[in-house]
């Protein structure tokens, strides 16, 4: 979905706010630049790498599930100043879907900025009430017998889904697996699938 | 978890325990910032995990000194919340201790 260009009055207001904060010594230009740089670096590839490693390394998987923040730090991602990261393990019985009904809480340090739809009133109200209809609109049909667990990100943690490793990926390298995982899989609105890639590779 | 795990000893509720979310709407009488969704109020769930201790966001929002509060992951059956949905589907919500009571 195309995003609107920022309004001139919003930019002017932002400029005044930043000027006031700098004048009072609350933020410096350097801090703003640092924050911008870390925000620019954050993208779903980081989360995808974490998932791929969990699929190939049981010990690391255990760390990821026990303490997502420590696991991210172990991969060289600075989590300083970020809320703790929790990781939700999909199984043959439960699929997780993450939403923030109150605002737009999202594990930005490891996935980057949330997509427009994640912040929409429609997603926030419907994901928690009719998750299966929302999943269907993303083209996601869960195998029979899988329960949906909607995770409402209401407070201090940020949540990422660890999907199940798709069938047909036996023997794949960590890089190949990383390339399979998208932002949508980490939020839980869709499931990774080796189908397309496997047939293309064949 | 990196934050709060050491304070788990002070938690009033433990994993597996049934809890009820307080059925109150304090925001109707005063301007407040709350992290407890309306749909969860009055609902009975089960503590999945103690997540740690965090400064109370209800104070942070108004720049008041924020008391540490224990945060829980609480699991609810989904269909009773909405009067619709599929049996077995669940909701997992972060809730602060002062919003919970024994069920």
H/E run at residue B79: helix B78-82
| Catalytically annotated residue among A105, A120, A125, A199 | A105
CB contact under 8 A, A156 and B85: no
CB contact under 8 A, B78 and A70: no
Q: Which CATH code is given to the segment(s) B5-102?
A: 2.30.30.50
Q: Where are the alpha helices (DSSP H) in chain A?
A: 8-23, 29-41, 44-56, 58-66, 68-74, 108-111, 116-119, 121-129, 131-137, 174-180, 183-187, 195-201
**Distance (Å, whole) CA A159 – CA A182:** 15
Q: Is the pLDDT score of B8 beyond 90? A: no
Q: Give the residue numbers in A contacting B (CB under 8 Å), as ranges.
A: 66-70, 84, 86, 88, 96, 101-102, 128-132, 147-157
The label of the residue with tokens 């390339």 reads: A179
**Distance (Å, whole) CA A113 – CA A110:** 9
Query: Which of A143, B41, A155 lies closest to A163, judged by CA?
Result: A143
Q: Give the residue numbers in B contacting A (CB under 8 Å), as ranges.
A: 1-4, 35-37, 39, 51-52, 54, 57, 71, 75, 78, 82, 84-86, 88-96
Look up A78 and say whether it is catalytic. no
The helix-helix angle for A44-56 and A58-66 (nearest 10°) equals 130
Residues B22-59: pLDDT tens digits?
999 999 999 999 999 999 999 999 999 999 999 999 99
**Distance (Å, whole) CA B78 – CA B89:** 6
Between strands B44-55 and B18-21, the pairing is: antiparallel
Q: Where are the alpha helices (DSSP H) in A78-201?
A: 108-111, 116-119, 121-129, 131-137, 174-180, 183-187, 195-201
From the list B35, B75, B78, the residue facing A102 with the nearest CB is: B35
Residue of B nearest to A88 (CA): B92
Residue B7: per-residue pLDDT: 54
Query: Which of A88, A83, A129 lies closest to A107, judged by CA?
Result: A83
User: pLDDT category, B4, cuts 50, 70, 90?
Assistant: very low
Look up A100 and say whether it is catalytic. yes
Look up A105 and say whether it is catalytic. yes
Q: Where are the alpha helices (DSSP H) in A78-173?
A: 108-111, 116-119, 121-129, 131-137
From the list A101, A147, A148, the residue facing B37 with the nearest CB is: A101
Mean confidence (pLDDT) of chain A: 92
* Contact call for residues A185 and A202 (beta carbons, < 8 A): no
Question: Can you identify the CATH homologous superfamily of domain A40-191?
Answer: Nitrile hydratase alpha /Thiocyanate hydrolase gamma (3.90.330.10)
Residue A41: per-residue pLDDT: 81
Sorted by where each begins, the domain ranges of chain A are 40-191
User: Is this complex scored with an ipTM above 0.90?
Assistant: yes
Q: Which residues, given as ranges, of chain A have pLDDT below 50?
A: 1, 197-202
Sorted by where each begins, the domain ranges of chain B are 5-102
From the list A67, A101, A131, the residue facing B1 with the nearest CB is: A67
According to DSSP, the residues that pair with B52 across neighbouring strands are B71
Contacts of B35 in chain A (CB under 8 A): 102, 154-155
The label of the residue with tokens 């207001």 reads: A13
* Contact call for residues B78 and B22 (beta carbons, < 8 A): no
Residue A202: per-residue pLDDT: 33
Query: Which of A103, A87, A112, A115 lies closest to A153, judged by CA?
Result: A103
| Catalytically annotated residue among A78, A103, A120, A125 | A103
CB atoms < 10 A from the CB of A113, how many?
Answer: 16
DSSP A172: -
DSSP A24: T
* Contact call for residues A169 and A201 (beta carbons, < 8 A): no
From the list A96, A130, A157, the residue facing B94 with the nearest CB is: A157
CB contact under 8 A, B94 and A149: no
Look up A153 and say whether it is catalytic. no
């Amino acid at each position: 979905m195309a995003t609107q260009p920022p309004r001139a009055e919003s930019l002017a207001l932002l400029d005044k706010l930043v000027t006031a904060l700098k004048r009072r010594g609350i933020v410096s230009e350097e801090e703003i630049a640092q924050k911008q740089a870390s925000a620019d670096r954050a993208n779903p590839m980081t989360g995808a790498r974490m998932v791929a490693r969990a699929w190939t390394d049981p010990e690391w998987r255990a760390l990821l599930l026990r303490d997502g923040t420590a696991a991210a730090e172990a991969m060289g991602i600075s989590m300083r100043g970020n809320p703790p990261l929790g990781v939700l393990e999909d199984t043959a019985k439960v699929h997780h879907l993450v939403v923030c009904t109150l605002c737009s809480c999202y594990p930005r340090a490891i996935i980057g900025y949330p997509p427009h739809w994640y912040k929409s009133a429609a997603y926030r109200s419907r994901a928690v009430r009719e998750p299966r209809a929302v999943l269907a609109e993303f083209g996601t049909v869960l195998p029979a017998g899988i329960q949906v667990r909607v995770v409402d990100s209401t407070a201090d943690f940020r949540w990422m889904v660890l999907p199940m490793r798709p069938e047909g990926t036996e023997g794949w390298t960590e890089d190949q697996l990383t390339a399979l995982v998208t932002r949508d899989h980490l939020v839980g609105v869709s499931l990774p699938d080796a189908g397309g890639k496997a047939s293309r590779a064949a | 978890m990196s934050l709060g795990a050491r304070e788990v000893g002070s938690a009033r509720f433990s994993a597996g325990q049934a809890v009820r979310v307080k059925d109150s709407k304090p925001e109707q009488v005063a301007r407040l910032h709350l992290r407890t969704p309306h749909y969860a109020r009055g609902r009975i769930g089960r503590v999945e995990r103690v997540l740690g201790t965090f400064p109370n966001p209800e104070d942070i929002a108004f720049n008041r000194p924020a008391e540490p509060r224990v945060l829980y992951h609480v699991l609810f059956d989904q269909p009773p919340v909405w009067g619709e949905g599929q049996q077995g589907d669940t909701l997992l919500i972060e809730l602060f201790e002062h919003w919970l009571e024994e069920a």
